[in-house]
Amino acid sequence: MKALAILLTSLLLSVWISAIAILAIQNFTPVSLRFLGFQSIEIPVGLVLAFSVGLGLLGTAIAQPLLGFSSFQRDNEDY
The answer to whether the beta carbons of residues 44 and 66 sit under 8 Å apart is: no
Confidence of residue 76 (pLDDT cuts 50, 70, 90): low
Residue 5 has pLDDT above 80, yes or no: yes
C-alpha span between 72 and 4 (Å, rounded): 15
C-alpha span between 47 and 43 (Å, rounded): 7
pLDDT digits (tens, 9 = 90+) for 12-47: 989 988 887 887 788 778 888 788 888 888 888 778
What is residue 11's predicted lDDT score, i.e. its pLDDT? Answer: 92
Average pLDDT over residues 65-72: 72
Domain ranges of the chain: 2-69
What is residue 77's predicted lDDT score, i.e. its pLDDT? Answer: 53
Average pLDDT over residues 55-67: 86
